[in-house]
Chain A
Amino acid sequence: AQSVTQPDIHITVSEGASLELRCNYSYGATPYLFWYVQSPGQGLQLLLKYFSGDTLVQGIKGFEAEFKRSQSSFNLRKPSVHWSDAAEYFCALRGSNALNFGKGTSLLVTP
Chain B
Amino acid sequence: GAGVSQSPSNKVTEKGKDVELRCDPISGHTALYWYRQSLGQGLEFLIYFQGNSAPDKSGLPSDRFSAERTGGSVSTLTIQRTQQEDSAVYLCASSPHRGPLHFGNGTRLTVT
Contacts and interface: CB of A to CB of B under 8 A. Distances in A.
B48 interface: yes
Interface stretch (B20-28, B62-70, B71-79, B101-109): B101-109
Given A98-B48, A99-B33, A104 B42 contact: yes
Interface residues of chain A: helix, strand, loop or mixed (majority): strand
Contact of B101 (A46, A102, A103): A46
Interface residues of B, number: 20
Interface string B3-35: 000000000000000000000000000000101
Contacts of A104: 42
A42 interface: yes
Contacts of A45: 103
A42 B105 contact: yes
B33 A98 contact: yes
B82 to A, nearest CB: 23
Interface residues of chain B: helix, strand, loop or mixed (majority): strand
A36 B56 CA distance: 23
Kindly name the residue among B42, B50, B59 whose own CB sees the greatest number of chain A CB atoms within 10 A. Answer: B42
B100 A43 contact: no
Given A43-B91, A100-B45, A101-B42, A94 B102 contact: no
A98 to B, nearest CB: 4
A34 interface: yes
B92 to A, nearest CB: 10
A103 B45 contact: no
B25 to A, nearest CB: 14
A2 B41 CA distance: 19
B45 A98 contact: yes
B105 A43 contact: yes
Interface of B: 33, 35, 41-43, 45, 48, 50, 56, 59, 91, 93, 98, 100-106
- A-B interface, 9 closest residue pairs, ranked by CB to CB distance from nearest: A103-B42, A101-B43, A98-B48, A44-B103, A43-B105, A43-B103, A97-B56, A98-B45, A46-B100
13 contacts: A32-B98, A34-B100, A43-B105, A44-B43, A44-B103, A46-B101, A46-B102, A49-B100, A94-B98, A98-B33, A99-B101, A101-B42, A102-B42
